[in-house]
Chains A and B, each alone.
Chain A
Amino acid sequence: MATDAGALVARATGVALQAHGLSKRFGKKTALDAIDLTVPAGSVTALVGPNGAGKTTLIRICMAFERPNGGRVEVDGVDPWKHRSEALRGVGYVPQTPAVYRGLDVDDHLAMARSLHSGFDAEYARKRLNQLGIPLDQRADTLSGGQAAQLGLAIALGTRAKVLLLDEPLANLDPLARREFIQVLIDAIRSDGSTVLLSSHIVTDVEEACDRLVILGAGKVLLDCPLEEARQAHKLTDSKSPPPGGIAVGSFAGKGLTRLTLWRVPADAGEGAAAATEPASLEEVVLGYLAAGRGTTGLQLN
C-alpha cells in the first residue's frame, strides 16, 4: 500500500527517479558522496562522467544490486532496497556488458524474460529484433557485440517499463553499432514515452537522444540541468579574462594544447559576453566540469 502511494505521489509530482543524500562507500573509497538528484518523468537524462565517477553505482543502487550507506533513492516513488519487486516491476535495465545466456537462442531469451516478468511483451521485443534483422533462432553467444546490446535493449523495452536504466550500453560498441543502438532507443522513447537514465562517458553519443544532462565526478553531481540550458549557459575562452558576468567552471587543454576555460554565463549577462567568447559544445561543457571536479586541467579534447 505504501509503495502504491509512493508511486502515485511520484506520478503526481512528475518525478521518475529521486535521490536524497545518497551515499555509497566501498571500503575507504567513496563512490557516491551524498548526492541529490531528480530525474523528471518522461525525460531522457544523460548521466555523464569519467570511469569511477559513480554512474554504475548509482544505477546499481536503483536496481537494488547495491545497498546505499546513506540517504535514499526512489524509483517511481518506490525504494528499491525496501520494496524490490514493486520497484523493479516498472524498471527496464540494460547492463554495462551485454549479458547473454550462451546456451540459449535469441527467442529463448525472450521466453525467459516472459517467464520472469509477467508484463513482458515478447511480441513487441520480437518485432524490434526483426526490424534489426537479428534472427530469433540464432544462438546468443554467436551474436556480435552490437546485436547482443540490441537484444539487451529489446528485453528492457519489452518490459514496457516506465523507467529505463541503461548502464553504459554503448561502451563496448563500434561507432555503427552505437549509432544503431541510439536510433532504436530514440524510436522506442518516442513511441513509449518512457523515462530514461542513460549513463555514458562518451558525450557525443548521448547528445542526440537526451534532453537532460547530469555530470557526475568523484561521486558528486557537478551539473544537473536541461541539455539546451547546458549548451547556452556555458561559454569558452582561450584566456583567463572572464566574459561579462561569467563564472569560471574549469580549464582544460584543447587542441594544440591551447588552454581553454569554461565559463558559466547567466542568461542576462548581455551582448558583450557572446562577442568575447566561443559557444561551448556539450563535450566541452562536460570537460570543463570534470576538470573542475578533479582540480586538474589534464583532460585532452579529441
Chain B
Amino acid sequence: MRARIILTLKQHRFETVAVTIVCVGLTLAALIEAYRLNSLNVPLSCLQTYQFGYADPSQGPISAAQAHCNELAKSFFDTKSSLDMSLVQLLLLFAPLLTGIVVGAPLVAREIEQGTAPLSWALSGSRRRWLLGKVLAGVVLLAPLMLAVGLAANVLEGALSPGLNPYASFSNYLGRGVIDVFWALAAFAGTFALGTLLGRTMPAVVVALVVCFFVRAAWDSGMSHFVLRSFAVEQVQQDQQNQQGGYVVYGPGGPAYADMNLYYKTFIDGKEVTDAQRNDWYAQNMVCTPIPTPSDSTSPAEAGSPGASNSPGASSSPGAPATPGYPTTVGNGGIACQGPTVDPSHFPQQIPYVIPGSWYWQIVGLESGILLLGSLFCGAIAFVWVDRRRPY
C-alpha cells in the first residue's frame, strides 16, 4: 500500500506540489503575520484604553506614556487591518475546502478521462482496494498539511486577540486548529465521490465548489440551531471584559470565556417551550379588540368577545382586565391588542444560554466528528459506485 500511495502522489504530481506549496506558504504567512503582531509587544491595557477611546486627546492632555501606548495600539490595529493580514485570514478560511477539492477531484475522474482506469482495474481486480490506495494517498497528503495550516491559524488568532486563549475561545474557531483537517477531508471526500459519480474532473470541481460554499455558509447557523443549542448552559453572569478578551461567563463550571453566540431559550412556568409555543401563548393571552370608529358605539369591553381576534389561533379573554401599564399595540384590520392579562410572573421568560470556552475541545471534537461522518458517507458512496461504474 505504501508503494501505491507514493505512486498516486507522483501520478498527481501537479496537485501534490501545488497543495504543498500553498499550505506551507500559508502556514509561513500566518506565522509571519502573527510574529509581526506579537513583536509589537503592545500591552493589553494599551489596547483596552485605545479601543474604548479613553486615550482620546480631545478628552484632555495625555501623558507621554499614554501617547506611547496610543502609538503602539495604533500600529497594532493598523497591522491587524492591513491588506496582507486580511488576505492571509481569507486564505486560511478557504484553504481547507480548496485543497480538499483540488486533491479530490482528479483522483478517480482523471483516470476515467485519460483512459487509465481500465488498465488499473484490470490489474487490481478489486476496485475498492484500488480506490483505497488513492484515498489514503489524499489523506496522507492533506492531513499533515492542513494540521500545520490550522495550528498556524491558531497562533495567528492568539496574536490577533491578545489575552485570548485560542484553545478556550470560539472566535473564528471553524477556520483554525484541528477542525481545518476535517474540513479538508470532508471537501476531499465529497469531491472524489463526485469525480467517481461524474467521471469528469472539471464538472466535479464546479459542483464541489458550489456544494462546499453552501455547506460552509449554512454550517454556522445550522450547527447553532440543531446541535450546539442543546449543549449551551445558562449564562449566570456576563461580563464584557474587553474586545480582545471576549466575554467571560460564569456558568456551572465556573468562569470561562464564552462563545459569542447567545442561545435564547424560552421558559413558561419553568418549562422550556419552542418559539411556536411561545407565540401561541401570546396569542392566547392577548386581549384584542376592534378599534372603535367615531360612528361605532360598541364599547371595547363588549368587543372583546370570542371571534373578535383576527390572529390565527388567537382567542380573547372576555372580561379579563388588561395588565396595567402594558403597551397597547395596533394589529391588522383595525384590531388593537393589549395584554397579556396574566400575572407577569407567568410571562414567557427568555434566558440567554452560552457555550463556555472551556468546552472548546468538546465542541471542536463534536463538529469534527460530524464532518468526519459526512466524509465517510461520501467515501462510502464512491466505494459503492466505483464497483458498479464503467471505467470509461
Contacts and interface: CB of A to CB of B under 8 A. Distances in A.
Interface in A97-135: 97, 99-104, 108, 111-117, 120
Interface stretch (A88-96, A247-255, A289-297): A88-96
Contact of A115 (B7, B12, B13): B7
Contacts of A97: 115
Contact of A99 (B12, B116, B130, B133): B116
Given A91-B122, A95-B118, A159-B123, A108 B4 contact: no
Interface string B124-159: 111100100100000000000000000000000000
Interface in A47-103: 63, 65-66, 84-89, 91-93, 95, 97, 99-103
Size band of the A side of the interface? 20 to 34
Contacts of A115: 1, 3-4, 7, 133
B279 interface: no
A66 B1 CA distance: 28
A114 B3 contact: yes
A108 B118 contact: no
A92 B118 CA distance: 11
Contacts of A92: 122
Contacts of B122: 63, 88, 91-93, 95
B10 interface: yes
A288 interface: no
Interface centre among B12, B116, B123, by most A CB within 10 Å? Answer: B123
Given A63-B118, A100-B116, A115-B4, A120 B123 contact: yes
Given A65-B391, A103-B13, A116-B130, A95 B7 contact: no
Contacts of B126: 84-85
Given A66-B390, A101-B116, A113 B123 contact: yes
B111 to A, nearest CB: 9
B10 A155 contact: no
B122 to A, nearest CB: 4
B11 interface: yes
B332 interface: no
A115 B116 CA distance: 15
Interface in B314-361: none
Nearest to B13: A103
Nearest to B390: A65
B116 A108 contact: no
A65 B124 CA distance: 13
B121 interface: yes
A152 interface: yes
B110 to A, nearest CB: 9
Given A66-B390, A116-B124, A103 B12 contact: yes
A65 B123 contact: no
A115 B114 CA distance: 20
A104 B118 contact: no
B116 A116 contact: no
A152 B13 contact: no
A101 B118 contact: no
Interface in A229-275: none
A99 B118 CA distance: 8
B215 to A, nearest CB: 31
Nearest to A97: B115
Contacts of A103: 10-14
A51 B130 CA distance: 32
A88 B390 contact: no
A116 B10 contact: no
B112 to A, nearest CB: 11
Contacts of A152: 119
Nearest to B392: A65
A95 B115 contact: yes
A63 B120 CA distance: 12
A267 B253 CA distance: 101
Contact of B3 (A85, A89, A111): A111
Interface of B: 1, 3-4, 7, 10-14, 114-116, 118-127, 130, 133, 390-392
Given A93-B118, A93-B119, 20 more contacts: A63-B118, A63-B122, A65-B121, A88-B125, A89-B125, A95-B118, A99-B114, A102-B114, A103-B11, A103-B12, A103-B13, A103-B14, A104-B7, A115-B3, A116-B120, A116-B130, A120-B123, A152-B119, A155-B119, A155-B123
20 contacts: A63-B121, A63-B122, A65-B390, A84-B126, A88-B124, A93-B122, A95-B115, A95-B122, A101-B114, A103-B14, A104-B10, A111-B3, A112-B4, A112-B120, A113-B123, A115-B1, A115-B4, A116-B123, A117-B125, A155-B123
